[in-house]
Amino acid sequence: MTDNDIAILDTPELISRRAAVFRVSALLGGAALIGSSAWITGCRTEKTAATDSEAFTNDDVAYLDEIADTILPTTSTPGAKAAKTGAFMALMVRDTYSPEDQKIFRDGMRSLDQASKDKNGGKSFMQATPDQRLALLQALDKAQFDYSVKRKAEAKKKSDEFLAEKQGGKPTPQTTEATQIVDEPPNKYFGMMKQLSLLGYFTSEIGMTQAQRYVEAPGRYDPCIDYDGKPSWAGHA
């Protein structure tokens, strides 16, 4: 590892946060919270130390911090950068993502930077203003949202056609506008970045105790609490 490479090691804080994610997922039936369905198994997969080409540099982590902080900026509570979300994102990608998803994420970092240059007169993401960064990420988020809406329409259309066929004996059309939708979501890398930003922030001490309210277990059981406009209560791993 070079002097410019960040030492993303298994510190006690990061170990506890990663273990917490695994336990929560196990309680939810093993559902993956990030990326592909194989993500959560990555928490238990033995992996060799990252090579220099795989390691995230200090500049990479600073870049990821700015992406996360654009998604979760400082308001009345500290933002994602204050919670060191960039280092968390780098750790999770390096230690838990499959080689294929790591490549998507890495290529996505470059794609996002190029998109910023194309949109903002040659300015990289790090050089862009906060408003320019936000506008770029909002455009990527909208593309994914529109895709999700189309996928839901596709699923409903297929369901309706199946029920119609069963009830009326009509053959299911072979080609429809909905079924022509591509399977791969647009800007998949941004979905990874957004989800990791949220996960890293809300499992951090800042996210747990300042953005949310935290009460150590066991606490008391309240089956129904009126919403008082204050932050929600942090969950437990």
**Reported pTM:** 0.69
CB 89 within 8 A of CB 68: yes
8 Å CB contact between 42 and 102: no
Per-residue pLDDT tens digits for 103-139: 999 999 999 999 999 999 999 999 999 999 999 999 9
pLDDT-derived band at 185, boundaries 50, 70, 90: confident
Q: Where is pLDDT greater, at 214 or 180? A: 214
Binning pLDDT at 50, 70 and 90, where does residue 223 land? confident
Give the integer Cα–Cα distance in Å for 201 and 203. Answer: 6
Sign of the torsion formed by the C-alpha atoms of 112, 110, 79 and 37: positive
Query: Which of 54-58, 182-186, 233-237 ranks highest by mean pLDDT?
Result: 54-58
- Per-domain boundaries in the chain: 12-149+189-211
Long-range contacts, 23-27 (Cβ 8 Å, 24+): 23/237, 24/235, 24/237
Which tens digits make up the pLDDT trace of 10-67?
Answer: 444 444 555 555 555 554 444 445 554 444 444 455 555 555 556 899 999 999 999 9
